Chain A
Amino acid sequence: MEFFNVLVVDDEEDFVETLVNRLNKRKVPATGVLSGEEAIELMKEREFDVVILDVKMPGGMDGIETLREIKKVQPLAEVLLLTGHASVETSIEGMKLGAFDYVLKPIKLEDLFPKLAEAFERKDAHDSKIRGAKIKKLLRYW
């Protein structure tokens, strides 16, 4: 499996820090930010394959708003929503807005990892399709 870029967005600093450390330790390049605004800023500069996004963040942009912005900035980035139970409905709404899936807190890395992989695979598939389409387009004009 190819390595992929992960962005972790959550207001819990301890969580972000630990998850980033653990992903990095597994040779998955990961970056953490503590708010939706930071995430958008960062994504304008760098490309990410998968974004782990907490749905419920107090103050500033909430998960759904952030998701909308992400889809504007990087439509192809797959977003994995992280949610407590009470916000399941929000997560479903998020899925409608183009999120890849949602996972329930608390989640073990062992359970999270396969989801990340799936998300990346889909992203990768999309990328290849787009690449293929681009090639076809180029060939047509050629």
Chain B
Amino acid sequence: MKSSAYANLQRKIITVTLLVSFAPLIILGVTMYYQVALMCKDKTEEHIKYRARAQAQAIDLFLKERTAILSAMADTHSFNDMIDEKNLSRVFEVMNLRAGAFVDLGVIDSAGQHLAYVGPYDLSGLNYYQESWFGEVMSKGVYISDVYMGFRQLPHFIIAVRCWEGQRSWILRATIDPNIFGAIVLSAQIGKTGDAYLVNKAGIYQTHPRFSGKILTEFNLDTKMFRGGTTVIEARGSLGNRLLYAGSWSNNNKWLLVISQEPAEYMRRLFALRNTEIAIIIFGIFAIIMTTIFTTRLAVNHLRDSDAKMNELNAQLIQSDKLAALGKMATGVAHEINNPLNIIIQKTGWMEDLLAEEEFQNSENYGEYKKSIEKIEYHVERARKVVHNMLGYARKMEPHLEDVDLNRTINRTIDMLENYARDNNIDIQTDLSPDIPIIASDEAQLQQVFMNLISNSIDAIGKDGLIQVKSYRIKENITVSITDDGPGIPRDQQKKVFDPFFTTKQTGKGTGLGLWICYSIIEKLGGSLSFRSKVGEGTTFTISIPLIVPEKK
């Protein structure tokens, strides 16, 4: 596998793991947040709903009290008493003493004529017959008006009660202090952003809201959105911000008490929870990422290592299989070639025999014949040598086991090649470990291997260079390495170096059998032959043979 494939694999594993671990974490976080948010909202809604209902009841109570005291005064005094302004002002004083919030008090007869008045405005003498509330009070008996400007050009509302005295009816009418009433309503507001106000059915403010709008201006929502009893809705306020509205009807469903509240204010704790949650999730994600990357890297590296080992093993296996097959084929071919060569040799011999006879010696082409025959013999000899080399290792099918001092064998081989190396100005250095024991092996074959490898190194260097021969022991193996500082073996040729007949030397100079024979010999001795090469740096051939030769096949 290429390294990009490993990177790809690593990326895939990491992506999948992260997705799988992030998804539940994030889903859990979001779900929890929304559940808590829902709970918070419910709680806030419940709270303002309760406040709205309580305040609406308080307003009802306020109105009922004022109406009751007004009715009581009307019932306990006669019309004639009341139109006396002295008496009326006494009644007014008592009313303010017991209940308060009355601004003025007036008596109106059934024709709408304002007969008596106590209060800060000069309203006596006015006729209310045309006013809508007059009709209402005359027909219903009790009337509480919406807030209006009236003659005095100030927002206010009135409570009027009708009283029967025999056949005659009259009206006692009082104005409620808008400030006191407004204060009662405003006391329902909550927190910094909360607001409380009254709105009538038509959507006109009956009290001063704290933030949005003014008294007697229009409410920004449709009052029809608030159904009977107490309703909570969420809508945009007049300033464009989202608000929670709780509305509760009072005053016989004529007035709507509204409490508004920014949800954010109550949700501060929720936001704190959200921040904590986000922090935990971020920390979790970070931890997961680190762990995933770390473990995946570890696993992929492990995989890469074992793959590399596997590949190396496979390569070795393929190499030895290939060489075994090639060897079988080569020896088969060689054997088949031997027979024709044998016949050719006999035939040329026969021709030579015949040429030696006297009559042929006189032939003018005698010399040419003789030369041709010699050439044929020369080339048969060449072919014979190739076959011989190829089968050379096979001549001794089984290694001849004897006591071998490996270091001595190496030194002897180097002695033989010393002159050849010196001629090419190549230095052969040895670093032979003294703790290599005498082993049971085939000295002649080992020598052939060393000879081949070292002379290959010399040929590879050409001129001027260094060859290092080392021997050392690793556990139950003896290793001999031969390193040259030659040009190295190009990558594309590395797979072929052990193949029979593979050579880079000029035609006729090398058969391409040397390394193949070395490989076969070492394999037969139970060892292994490998090499490492880098173009421009040199090549190292490493022979590894077992310290105790394994049993013969």
Query: Which of A's residues lie within 8 Å of B, judged by CB?
Result: 12, 14-15, 18-19, 21-22, 25, 56, 84-89, 105-109
Contact = CB atoms under 8 A, between A and B. Distances in A.
Question: Chain B: interface secondary structure?
Answer: helix
Interface string B348-367: 01100100000000000000
Contacts of A84: 334-335, 338-339
A105 B341 contact: yes
A88 B338 contact: no
Given A22-B346, A105-B342, 19 more contacts: A14-B347, A15-B339, A18-B346, A18-B347, A18-B349, A18-B350, A21-B353, A25-B353, A84-B334, A84-B335, A84-B338, A85-B331, A85-B395, A86-B394, A88-B395, A88-B397, A106-B344, A106-B345, A109-B349
- Scoring A15, A21, A88, A89 by chain B CB atoms within 10 A of each residue's CB, the highest score goes to A15
Contact of B350 (A21, A56, A88): A21
B384 interface: yes
B135 interface: no
B343 A12 contact: yes
B332 interface: yes
A109 B349 CA distance: 7
Chain A's interface: helix, strand, loop or mixed, by majority?
helix
Given A85-B391, A88-B397, A105 B339 contact: yes
B215 interface: no
B115 interface: no
A56 B391 CA distance: 17
Contacts of B391: 85-86
A106 B338 contact: yes
Interface residues of B, number: 24
Contacts of B342: 12, 15, 105-107
Q: Which 6 residue pairs across A and B have the least CB separation, nearest first?
A: A85-B391, A106-B342, A18-B346, A106-B341, A84-B335, A84-B338
A19 B344 CA distance: 11
Contacts, number: 65
A43 B334 CA distance: 33
Nearest to B384: A106
7 contacts: A15-B339, A18-B343, A21-B350, A84-B334, A84-B339, A85-B334, A85-B338
B278 interface: no
Contacts of A22: 346, 349-350, 353
A86 B335 contact: yes
Contacts of A105: 338-339, 341-342
B353 A106 contact: no
A93 to B, nearest CB: 12
Nearest to A15: B343
B387 A85 contact: yes
A84 B395 CA distance: 10
B47 to A, nearest CB: 106
A81 B339 CA distance: 14
Contacts of A86: 331-332, 334-335, 391, 394
A107 B387 CA distance: 13
B378 to A, nearest CB: 12
A108 B338 contact: no
A88 B339 CA distance: 15
B326 to A, nearest CB: 15
A56 B334 CA distance: 14
A89 B397 contact: yes
A25 B350 CA distance: 9
A108 B345 contact: yes
Contact of A19 (B339, B346, B380, B394): B346
Contacts of A85: 331, 334-335, 338, 387-388, 391, 394-395
A76 B384 CA distance: 33
Of B338, B339, B345, B346, the most chain A CB neighbours within 10 A belong to: B346
A108 B339 contact: no
Contacts of B339: 12, 15, 84, 105
B341 to A, nearest CB: 4
A74 B301 CA distance: 75
Contacts of B388: 85
A107 B345 contact: yes
A85 to B, nearest CB: 4
A82 B473 CA distance: 44
Contacts of B346: 14-15, 18-19, 22, 109
A64 to B, nearest CB: 16
A109 B338 CA distance: 15
Contacts of A15: 339, 342-343, 346
Most buried by B among A85, A87, A88: A85
Nearest to B342: A106
A138 to B, nearest CB: 45
A107 B377 CA distance: 11
Contacts of B334: 84-86
Contacts of A107: 342, 345
